[in-house]
């Protein structure tokens, strides 16, 4: 198979898997996530690896609409407190650093929402709200959930969920693209 044919084939596969995952999402759970974000005093994001990178992009977008957001582990991140929201992503729902952050947030009376591909996981049992992402975890080497490597579909889906959250909040805010622009990074 020629390179261009493979490129098109895999791009189509990735798009098809993301579309399937998006259609299988429980939109009620996405709406609950949106309401939790609206109610939160401050929003903290926690994930490792590529899930953490997807959450960093989500944090940036929410910052653009004026929300107070922090990345767990950054040196300037304050203590989480009651009234705050911790948003975590772990495909397996067992990542130890994520679970530790969830337990700490709960002990501080913060609300926790988790995104996971494992609805029976420790994360699913601990979090106040779970958004199940229909995708493979990084240790799922079968082909039924995704043909992509490791947790790629999960990580892509996390990004798409938060882009959706952002779009809803942005459109409800009435802010224009020009209104958001001053919050865009200018020390690049």
Beta partners for residue 112, in sequence order: 86
Which are the contacts of 94, defined by CB distance < 8 A and separation ≥ 6? Answer: 118, 121, 122, 123
How far is the CA of 170 from the CAs of 42, 54, 71, 179, in angstroms?
17, 19, 21, 11
Reduce the DSSP state of residue 127 to 3 states and report it: coil
Active site residue 155: yes
What is the C-alpha separation between 9 and 186, in angstroms, rounded? Answer: 38
CA angle 8, 148, 46 (to 5 degrees): 120
Among residues 187, 164, 137, the alpha carbon closest in space to that of 62 is found at 164
Find the catalytic residue in 17, 120, 155, 188. 155
The residues carrying an active-site annotation are 155
């Amino acid at each position: 198979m020629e390179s261009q044919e493979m490129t098109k084939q895999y791009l189509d596969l990735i798009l098809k898997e993301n579309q399937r995952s998006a259609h299988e999402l429980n939109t009620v759970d996405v709406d609950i996530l949106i309401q939790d974000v609206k109610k939160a005093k401050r929003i903290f994001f926690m994930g490792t690896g590529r899930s953490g990178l997807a959450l960093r992009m989500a944090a940036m977008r929410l910052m653009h609409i004026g929300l107070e957001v922090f990345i767990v582990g950054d040196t300037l991140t304050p203590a989480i407190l009651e009234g705050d929201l911790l948003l975590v992503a772990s495909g397996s729902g067992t990542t130890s650093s994520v679970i530790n952050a969830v337990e700490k947030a709960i002990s501080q009376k913060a609300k926790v929402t988790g995104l996971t591909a494992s609805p029976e996981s420790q994360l699913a049992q601990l979090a106040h709200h779970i958004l199940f992402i229909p995708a493979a975890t990084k240790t799922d080497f079968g082909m039924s959930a995704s043909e992509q490597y490791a947790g790629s579909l999960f990580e892509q889906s996390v990004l798409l969920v938060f882009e959706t959250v952002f779009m809803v909040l942005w459109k409800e805010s009435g802010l224009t693209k020009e209104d958001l622009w001053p919050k865009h990074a200018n020390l690049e």
